[in-house]
Structure 1
């Protein structure tokens, strides 16, 4: 079978390639603007400030956020999640999460647990890859302050019932933090309809921005302690942190070139439309799952009958370590995938794939059907060679 060139199937880690507009936007800022937003009164600084606000407005449009100034830009979703968790929780508080969280939630919560925060993990069913919202309702206590969960799994591709859980949090006056690292740009997110109080997002995955960009939406009235304090360009005469958004949580020079690129990526998503993006990715996933299911020796992880899932599939090949499969795909077939535990040991413990992990394929809107076809042929050859 003719090779279609280097194939990149590691989009859950970071998307590649990017739309041309993303790269052009970053180049434009670096070559034509270059100034620090909000730190000076000259025209280039003012233009940088306008560009930064445009980034907030674009993200606000995507997530149905009424006030763009409630969006804090960070360097990635991990930073945003740490900002929320350490800025909200105190010893004696109770927090509820799931059993398939990425380490960007798991590790901060484990540390906070060691400092006196009470932690409850709700189990995800290993067969259906789903979670019962009622279990969150049952777990709420008088000292429950926060429910913090991912929206979509970077291991199984399952999308959790965020809207249903959000309804519970609103009824019980509990704050709701959602990690949208895997869903932003590929699944509709409406912070109002889903009752999301805090939304962490990353810019370099399905929002088609570049690495070093991300953010946190904080609903008006939710008070988050600053993770860092410093220069904001506002109230420079004072040596205490400003108390208004976004300055109270956003210190230091932002990654304005990256955020210019993020704006272009978000506008690309808005122009294409989430439904069109999902339709294309769902077709690729069906082709991928159907093809892998037909290969002898391939063991798919999780529920492949899910009607609503991310473009993420994990599997193993009998008799081979995931690292061996990944090495062959890279060196022989020029196919880039990810192997191992994917920074999500809780998820692999839940799915029974810990500690060896899995081979993970994660597709993008910019991937094509012939790439999936070539990948399936490669996996079939690997499996056949294993049997001989």
Structure 2
């Protein structure tokens, strides 16, 4: 028996149509979009166009050409942060960030002499809005925040922070790796300037595809990240300055984009609210039962409505790494142990350096999966007595 509870790392399984779309592109289309006028290349163009449209609809965005494809959200964050932030800027982020935000900002602090503030969040993983407001300086130019924690699922008050950013003319960049596809994400309601996304988590697409949505104001600050062939202005040795070509040099992952389009279409068909409600119900059941196991500590909010379905635990009777190993080896339960590429989050939670055992629920899990995991945890912990 195999139970997959590591959906925060990547969702599995995918909707059947995602597999079909990737295979169909590779076997029956195959051409390089934007690099030919023949039928198969134009079919590739159509799929990419449709995926940009689907992303606009999903995130309530309204500029097709400002939807950019990359290899993953890490690349998206590096493009947006490293090619926007200037010398002397004050930048604000939080202690709940993934290293995909923290590492680029740490490098910029050394190479561009930026002033960086990392605001300490609560033990439940939420930034205090007044702490944020008090951290703003005259030279504060950009804020970068995750929407939801990849460790405990805590959801940040982005709308309140976005409103302050607009009032203060501060650029606002969002990491939606854990929220896009799992909870509603609205570009304009949040009030951000750039929203980065990855395809292979709750958007249910394959690995190797991500991107970002960027407004015109932030785009004016940004330089190209990778320069090369775009299929446009081929007579010029200078990178085009118009979107999306400014950021999309080289061959796009067209099979990945085809799979991502099918993943988004599945979400739109099922309804993101319906997916969220199902996952919340499973998450709440899991948390409630975990709280009945005396030796287990559950981190973060105990109300599933305040988080995405990502649950971190530790046991006083067994190390989380050993517990995760036994779950896999003896029960076929796939989870994740350690620091989850978010060391400051674990310091905030008080779980550094050992980390936690993380379970993350996806749209294809059911109550039987959760009950089996609970049975396994109970059995292992009783065996430690």
State whether TM-score is above 0.5.
yes
Query: Which residue matches 1:68?
Result: 64
Of 118, 137, 159 in structure 1, the residue corresponding to residue 133 of structure 2 is 137
TM-superposed CA distance for 1:123, in Å, is 1.2
Query: Which residue matches 1:366?
Result: 364
Query: Quick check: 2:56–2:62 contact (8 Å CA) kept in 1?
Result: yes
How does 1:173-184 map onto structure 2 within 5 Å?
173-184=169-180
Partners of 1:209 and 1:334 lie apart in 2 by: 24
How does 1:257-272 map onto structure 2 within 5 Å?
257-272=255-270
Q: Deviation per CA, 1:201-227: give whole Å up to 9, x if none.
A: 000000000000100111123221111
Query: Which residue matches 1:22?
Result: 18
TM-superposed CA distance for 1:303, in Å, is 2.5
Q: Deviation per CA, 1:172-225: give whole Å up to 9, x if none.
A: 100000000000001111111111110010000000000001001111232211
Of 102, 109, 125 in structure 1, the residue corresponding to residue 122 of structure 2 is 125
Query: Quick check: 1:228–1:249 contact (8 Å CA) kept in 2?
Result: yes
Computed over aligned residues only, the root mean square deviation of the Cα atoms, in angstroms, reads 0.9
Query: Which residue matches 1:379?
Result: 377
How does 1:9-48 map onto structure 2 within 5 Å?
9-48=5-44
Partners of 1:312 and 1:351 lie apart in 2 by: 14
DSSP 3-state at the match of 2:294: coil
Query: Which residue matches 1:94?
Result: 90
Partners of 2:142 and 2:70 lie apart in 1 by: 21
Bigger mean CA deviation after superposition, 34-43 or 129-138: 129-138
Query: Which residue matches 1:213?
Result: 209
DSSP 3-state at the match of 2:88: coil
Partners of 1:183 and 1:177 lie apart in 2 by: 14
Q: TM-score, normalising length from structure 2? A: 0.98
Of 139, 155, 163 in structure 2, the residue corresponding to residue 167 of structure 1 is 163
Partners of 2:348 and 2:322 lie apart in 1 by: 23
How does 1:1-388 map onto structure 2 within 5 Å?
5-115=1-111, 116-126=113-123, 128-222=124-218, 223=220, 224-305=222-303, 307-387=305-385
TM-superposed CA distance for 1:30, in Å, is 1.0
Partners of 2:378 and 2:153 lie apart in 1 by: 22
Q: Deviation per CA, 1:324-365: give whole Å up to 9, x if none.
A: 001100000000000000000010011110000000000001
TM-superposed CA distance for 1:134, in Å, is 2.2
Q: Deviation per CA, 1:280-304: give whole Å up to 9, x if none.
A: 0011001100111111211112231
Query: Quick check: 1:146–1:176 contact (8 Å CA) kept in 2?
Result: yes
Query: Quick check: 2:284–2:304 contact (8 Å CA) kept in 1?
Result: no
Query: Quick check: 1:23–1:261 contact (8 Å CA) kept in 2?
Result: yes
TM-superposed CA distance for 1:306, in Å, is 5.4
TM-superposed CA distance for 1:46, in Å, is 1.1
Partners of 1:133 and 1:262 lie apart in 2 by: 34
DSSP 3-state at the match of 2:358: strand
Partners of 1:136 and 1:226 lie apart in 2 by: 30
TM-superposed CA distance for 1:143, in Å, is 1.3
Query: Quick check: 2:281–2:304 contact (8 Å CA) kept in 1?
Result: no
DSSP 3-state at the match of 2:280: helix
TM-superposed CA distance for 1:32, in Å, is 1.4
Partners of 1:118 and 1:306 lie apart in 2 by: 36
Partners of 2:300 and 2:46 lie apart in 1 by: 45
Query: Quick check: 1:340–1:356 contact (8 Å CA) kept in 2?
Result: yes
Partners of 1:141 and 1:296 lie apart in 2 by: 46
Partners of 1:68 and 1:205 lie apart in 2 by: 23
TM-superposed CA distance for 1:317, in Å, is 1.2
Partners of 1:19 and 1:196 lie apart in 2 by: 30
